[in-house]
């Protein structure tokens, strides 16, 4: 299977504080890859270094065969991104945000169709800030899909959603995967990770402490429940009790 993301020996620190420490990982085409870890474990920094929006101190990153710093223009024609802290213009309407995003690409997907497909077709004339949490997250998936990408990055997409809305998002992602999309995500919800991710990597203080599948994680930690396995492997077991 073709590798779409390849990271080797990536390191990044803020002052003396190492955020990512010699991380290597690779993501295969058509799979869902989960980057897990506690708050501050280095997930967002890893994503930003992979995308080239932050400069890594050392290491090599290749995404779809591009160097994200040098080939930014070419890379982002084919990659959709949803940032944890990305924002939109105040007062912007759903239709305007979609139209404005679509116009930045050479061959964008039909955003009206995407909005309908994701159940926000009736909200296009509303302002983005008036949407409910679930609707907004679905809008962010639409935005990430507007480039008609081969690969999407979703940083904590389901944070702040209720159980039903979260489950809807997971369902959407699994449908997207079945259409051949590669998804790189971070999440704090292990039920979703267990249901979706083909491969996971658990970060602890910027270092990868586990690579593999959900099943191998359970075996390695001798836990039946994946959430227990995750907490043990990410070093948060003590905090839980």
Residue of 1, 2, 17, 91 that binds other proteins (CB under 8 A): 91
- Pick the stretch among 12-20, 89-97, 184-192, 218-226 that binds other proteins (CB under 8 A): 89-97
Q: Tell me the CA distances in angstroms from 85 to 36, 106, 140, 156, one per residue in order.
A: 17, 26, 12, 10
State the minimum distance, in angstroms, from the CB of residue 91 to other proteins: 5
The residues in 146-185 that bind other proteins, with binding defined as CB under 8 A, are 147
DSSP state of 122: G
The 101-140 site mask, x for binding other proteins (CB under 8 A), equals xxxxxx----------------------------------
Of the two residues 10 and 214, which places its CB atom closer to other proteins in the complex? 10
For 69-186, list the strands marked E by DSSP: 79-82, 151-155, 182-186
DSSP state of 127: B
Is residue 72 involved in binding other proteins (CB under 8 A)?
yes
Burial class (CB in 10 A: 0-12, 13-18, 19+), 181: buried
What the block records as the tokens of 125 is 């004339």
For 139-214, list the strands marked E by DSSP: 151-155, 182-186, 199-204, 207-212
Residue of 87, 224, 239, 241 that binds other proteins (CB under 8 A): 87
| Residues near other proteins (CB under 8 A) | 51, 53, 72-74, 76-77, 79, 81, 83, 85-92, 96, 99-106, 147
């Amino acid at each position: 299977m073709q590798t779409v993301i390849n990271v080797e020996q990536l390191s990044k620190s803020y002052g003396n504080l190492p955020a990512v420490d010699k991380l290597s990982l690779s993501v295969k085409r058509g799979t869902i890859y989960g980057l897990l870890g506690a708050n501050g474990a280095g997930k967002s920094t890893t994503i930003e270094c992979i995308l080239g929006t932050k400069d890594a101190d050392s290491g090599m990153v290749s995404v779809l065969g591009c160097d994200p710093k040098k080939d930014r223009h070419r890379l982002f024609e084919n990659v959709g991104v949803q940032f944890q802290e990305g924002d939109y213009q105040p007062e912007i309407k759903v239709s305007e945000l979609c139209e404005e995003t679509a116009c930045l690409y050479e061959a964008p997907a039909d955003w009206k169709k995407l909005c309908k497909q994701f159940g926000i077709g009736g909200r296009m004339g509303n302002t983005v800030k008036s949407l409910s949490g679930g609707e907004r997250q679905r809008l962010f998936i639409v935005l990430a899909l507007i480039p008609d990408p081969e690969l999407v990055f979703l940083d904590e997409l389901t944070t702040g959603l209720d159980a039903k809305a979260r489950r809807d998002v997971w369902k959407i992602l699994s449908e997207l995967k079945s259409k051949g999309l590669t998804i790189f995500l971070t999440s704090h919800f292990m039920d979703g990770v267990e249901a979706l991710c083909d491969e996971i990597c658990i970060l602890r203080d910027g270092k990868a402490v586990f690579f593999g599948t959900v099943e191998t994680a359970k075996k390695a930690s001798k836990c039946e429940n994946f959430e227990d396995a995750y907490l043990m492997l990410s070093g948060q077991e003590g905090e839980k009790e």
